[in-house]
Amino acid sequence: MTAQTKNAESYFKNIFTDKLNRRIFIRQWGVLLVFAGILLIIGIIKPNFYNSTNIKSILNIASIIGFITLGETLVVITRDYDLSVGNLMGLCTVGIAIVMIWFKNGNPILASFISFLMPLAIGLFFGLINSLSVVRLKIPSFIATIGIMWVTRGIAYYILRGVPKPVNDTIKLVGRKEFFNLPLSFIVFIFIAVIFHIVLTKTRLGLHIYSLGSDSHAALISGVSFVKIKTFVYVMSGFFAGLAAIFLAGWTGTGYPRISDGYEMYALSGVALGGISFSGGSGNVFTPFVGICILQILDKFMIYQNISPFISNIFVGSILIISLYIQYRGAQE
């Protein structure tokens, strides 16, 4: 028997015999069991639900929300929140549409280049503003990011007066592109998630992100830069909002202030379902995506069953409350 086999046996034995280990395992990986159960139940109820069109649609929108969930995960690991990502996405899509207006009769190559650059620049800028509000002005992240949420919403409505506008054809091509019968958004998301998994688990930066969320006082004594880490996670959250906006605008073909209304709640629910502790210091980048997939599968299934889409809002809110309650009780115990 190899050392790896003995370690695996010891690990699973501890899970079933130790209450604390069992609780931690369920919190971190229980979402996979829920995911498998939902897939099985829906497959029994509607065997034709899992067709190619539905699967690609679910993967596409789950990946788009997955980008901002990835950014949210980084922020939550450091024991903060970013509630601005939904409206920031909307503003980024408006930025793409504005480029179309500016270059209506201009150079199409330059227009395409700026169409990709604009949402990323907007996302990075407001990510930096969020970080400055939290780090330099010492405003609690909940308040600071709500403020930016309303600022970005107001700017987006002011620019387009609340009217949807078309986006560049190149953006549409990217948003609707498929490789190996999979949405490009899904492939890009998996690639980036793998990179950030390596960053979080194999690098000093990842260690500092976890340590700052786990015990900020000890982390600061150990030489972790509060300013640099907080700035990094908020700027990356803004960047991912801009990246998600490219795929969302391309998929829908429009820039619109309300195009991503409520997406920040999906991101937070995905984080909660993925077992990421809102107390900070733990988590991974993959289980929140599984949580988002669960929400999107249920959304799609409700539409398939002619159930009101407003029910999904009730479900998302309930999931968030229950997940937070479970985390709170676990921390108390």
DSSP string, 47-105: GGGS-HHHHHHHHHHHHHHHHHHHHHHHHHHTT-----HHHHHHHHHHHHHHHHHHTTT
- DSSP states along 280-324: SS---SSHHHHHHHHHHHHHHHHHHTT--THHHHHHHHHHHHHHH
pLDDT above 70 (res 166): yes
Percentage of residues in the chain with pLDDT exceeding 70? 86
> Using one digit for the tens of pLDDT, what is the confidence trace for 110-141?
989 999 999 999 999 999 999 999 999 999 99
pTM, 2 dp: 0.89
Quickly count: other Cβ atoms within 10 Å of residue 98's Cβ. 18
Per-residue model confidence (pLDDT) at position 318? 76
Residues forming beta bridges with residue 209, ordered by sequence position: none
Phi, psi of 104 (to 5 degrees): -55, -40
Q: What residues does each domain of the chain span?
A: 52-260
- SS3 assignment, position 254: strand
d(CA 224, CA 219): 5
Are 234 and 134 in contact by the 8 Å Cβ rule? The answer is yes
Mean pLDDT on 54-66: 95
Least confident of 62-71, 135-144, 284-293, 300-309: 300-309
Q: Contacts for 283-286 with beta carbons within 8 Å, 24 or more apart?
A: 283/28, 283/73, 283/76, 283/77, 284/28, 284/197, 284/200, 285/70, 285/73, 285/193, 285/196, 285/197, 285/200, 286/193, 286/197
Residues forming beta bridges with residue 182, ordered by sequence position: 179
What's the chain's average pLDDT? Answer: 87
pLDDT above 70 (res 146): yes
Structure tokens at 309: 């889409």
Quickly count: other Cβ atoms within 10 Å of residue 166's Cβ. 16
Per-residue model confidence (pLDDT) at position 27? 61
Least confident of 174-178, 205-209, 274-278: 274-278
* Residue 147 identity: G
Per-residue model confidence (pLDDT) at position 283? 86
